[in-house]
């Protein structure tokens, strides 16, 4: 009986690490992809279209990497998930409303929903029941 509980706990912890590791890896890669400054790069062109300046590209990359690092630490995972979900919501809004291409924001919208669901699943259980 106790072995089953421990095996289930271990499986949950392993699954949690794999899930958080996958999210963190994806956003470290997404964030790092924002830093190269070749004039023809996709992100340089995209942030030119946004019209705020290239500093916003660097800021976005830093936020994505910071969120990924927060997700890796169990005690700060909810903060990281909230930060990343908010970033994806903003990305979808910018693409939809600033650039006028709502269909291009679908990937960011899906990521926002998935990250929000992960955030919700990590909430603390109510001690009152």
> What's the pLDDT tens digit per position in 17-56?
999 999 999 999 999 999 998 888 899 999 999 999 999 9
For 77, the enclosing helix (H) or strand (E) is helix 77-93
- The rounded Cα 39 to chain-centroid distance in angstroms is 26
> What's the pLDDT tens digit per position in 56-102?
999 999 999 999 999 999 999 999 999 999 999 999 999 999 999 99
The tokens of 115 are what?
Answer: 């990250």
**Count of CB atoms within 10 A of residue 109's CB?**
17
Round to whole Å and give the CA distance between 84 and 24.
10
Q: Is the pTM of this model over 0.75?
A: yes
Reduced to 3 states (helix: H, G, I; strand: E, B; else coil), residue 70 is helix
Query: Residue 63 carries which DSSP code?
Result: H
């Amino acid at each position: 009986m106790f072995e089953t509980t421990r095996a289930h706990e271990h499986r949950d912890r392993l699954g949690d690490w794999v899930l958080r590791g996958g999210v963190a890896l994806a956003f470290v890669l997404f964030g790092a992809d924002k830093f190269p400054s070749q004039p023809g790069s996709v992100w340089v062109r995209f942030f030119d279209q946004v019209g705020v300046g290239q500093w916003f590209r660097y800021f976005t990359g830093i936020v994505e990497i910071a969120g990924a690092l927060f997700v890796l630490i169990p005690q700060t995972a909810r903060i990281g998930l909230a930060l990343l979900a908010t970033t994806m919501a903003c990305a979808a809004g910018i693409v939809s409303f600033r650039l006028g291409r709502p269909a291009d924001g679908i990937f960011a919208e899906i990521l926002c929903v998935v990250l929000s669901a992960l955030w919700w699943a990590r909430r603390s259980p109510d001690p009152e029941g």
